[in-house]
Amino acid sequence: MPFPHEVFKTQRIVPIRFARAGVGFPIINFPDIDDRGWFRNAPTGNNAATNDHGFVVGVTQGDTVFIQLTREKVEDTAPLFVTSSNTATMTCGMAGTGADALLNIHDINIQITGVAGGAAADPNIARVQVRHGSNSGPIIGELSVWVFRVLNVNLVPHNVTITGAGGGAGIGSAVNITAVTDMVKAIWRPCGVDFTVAAVQNHNLNFATAGVAAWQAEINTILSTGFVAGSINAYFINQIQMAGLPGILGLGISRPNQVAFGTPNPGIILGDTNANGSARAGDTHWLANDLAHEIGHFFTLEHPDKKSPPPNTNTRFDTWAVRMLMHNFNLRAARTDWRNDVTYGPQRRGCLITMKDLVDSGSAVHHSTDNECRTARGAAIVPGNF
């Protein structure tokens, strides 16, 4: 499988690549992969003696997921095979058949099944090894697979209908809450985090304006309504009102911030609309991204490199950052090139929860908010955090 390639100074040749098997909305068995950078130290604990190169994907024990393999610098007719470096941790094969021999096409999906995962923050790690010629041939590419046991977190959704001081019909959220929580599950599943979603609690409250909850007293009332301890409580309402912030669509007040904000309980509040006229009740992807993002804060995650949202000038808009679930700015300007779509749709922020713990050679703290999956699992194990 020779190919011509001119090299100036030093280059890394990547014969094959891995990517999401599907594009568009998050799908529970089509996880995103952490393909940022190339080399990283392995996690501590049961994998401390190994290192990863290239691509990393998370899989929950017992799940079968699909990843696309692309022949980047390998002829489509070259015989390729996939094997697992440790079948006690995970198995792999061609999608649909599980065979180790791959079809001779440019892009092909492979399936990966998590067999035995790590129970706490540390995963069990095995590698999908792409071999040339036979299932014992030379390895020309690897995908590191982090396998986790399921970690369940309780999530309680609330639909709050608000009547105004003058009476009349109240206004509640028009969101399809089940569709939103299902997508949240898909976003967090690669980290082995699942959510036990309670039945939607319906509440009726009377505030100054129908459909509107104003900061702070009315928000405090919401966070005192139907609160379930040991769970993440998510309140869906028509609109949040905060002075000076007409564009606000969501509030996330995690346990560490509860005291600072002076609220009676932690919680997440999502609005269908805002004072600027944005309406998103039918945008499941946007709402699920917001809810999953705020859940990340409950799991102690921060924005990439702890940057601030606009109007501050240090918000990151590079493609690595906007792919991350924890990016701090939902709105993305339209692009005219490949940056327009990070595989979640044009101008859509991604849902990647980082696996790698990258270190910038010029600054050891440059990537201080990496390692999100293991950080989140370490926090999610403690229900008292919610």
345 and 227 together in one domain: yes
Point out which residues pair with 116 in neighbouring strands: none
- pLDDT tens-digit map of 245-270: 998 999 999 987 888 889 999 999 99
Q: Encoding tokens for residue 114?
A: 């998590």
pLDDT of amino acid 369: 81
Query: Could you tell me the residue range of the domain that residue 31 belongs to?
Result: 16-148
Which residue is listed with tokens 């509640």? Answer: 172
> Do residue 168 and residue 293 come from a single domain?
yes
Last residue of one domain, picked from the residues 130, 148, 166: 148
Task: Let me know if residue 3 belongs to a domain.
Answer: no
Tens digit of each residue's pLDDT (9 = 90 or more) over 297-331 = 999 998 887 766 655 556 677 778 888 999 877 66
- 134 and 161 inside one domain: no
Question: From CA 85, how far away is CA 200, in angstroms rounded?
Answer: 44
**Within a domain: residue 105?**
yes
Q: Determine, yes or no, domain membership for 6.
A: no
Query: How far apart are the C-alpha atoms of 199 and 177, rounded to whole Å?
Result: 10
- Asked whether residue 362 is domain-assigned, the answer is yes
What CATH number did the domain enclosing 329 receive? 3.40.390
Q: Is the pLDDT of residue 19 over 50?
A: yes
**Average pLDDT for 192-218:** 97
- Residue 30, domain CATH: 2.60.40
Domain for residue 11, yes or no? no
Share of the chain above pLDDT 90, in %: 66
Average model confidence (pLDDT) across the chain: 88
Instruction: Establish if 40 belongs to a structural domain.
Output: yes
| Res 48: pLDDT | 46
Maximum distance among all alpha carbons in the chain? Answer: 78
Of the candidates 323, 325, 260, 270, the residue with the CA atom closest to the CA atom of residue 299: 325
| 122 and 199 within one domain | no
Residue 38 pLDDT grade (very low, low, confident, very high; cuts 50, 70, 90): confident
> Quick one: 180 exposed, middle or buried, by C-beta within 10 A (0-12, 13-18, 19+)?
buried
**The domain boundary residue, chosen from 113, 148, 183:** 148
pLDDT exceeds cutoff 60 at 378: yes
Is 183 found in the same domain as 317? yes
Residue 9 resides in a domain: no
144 and 155 fall within a common domain:
no
Please say which residue of 148, 174, 195 terminates a domain. 148
Query: What pLDDT, in 10s, does the model give residues 100-152?
Result: 999 999 999 999 999 999 988 889 999 999 999 999 999 999 999 999 999 99
Same structural domain, 106 and 128 = yes
138 lies in the same domain as 282: no
Question: Can you give 153-212 as a three-state secondary structure string?
Answer: EEEEEEEEEEECCCCCCCECCCCCHHHHHHHHHHHHHHHCEEEEECCCEEEEEECCCCCE
- State the Cα–Cα distance between residues 248 and 125, nearest whole angstrom: 41
Digit-coded pLDDT (tens) for 47-91: 544 566 789 999 999 999 999 999 998 999 999 999 999 999 999
Q: What is the pLDDT of residues 175-202, one digit of tens each?
A: 999 999 999 999 999 999 999 999 999 9
* Separation between Cα atoms, residue 91 and residue 237, nearest integer Å: 44
User: Do 186 and 245 fall into the same domain?
Assistant: yes
> Residues 89, 116: contact at Cβ < 8 Å?
yes
Shared domain for 30 and 129, answered yes or no, is yes
Lowest average pLDDT, out of 175-184, 201-210, 334-343, goes to 334-343
**Is there a single domain that holds both residue 272 and residue 283?**
yes
C-alpha triplet 164, 170, 172: angle, nearest 5°: 120
Number of domains in the chain: 2
Residues 334 and 312 in one domain: yes
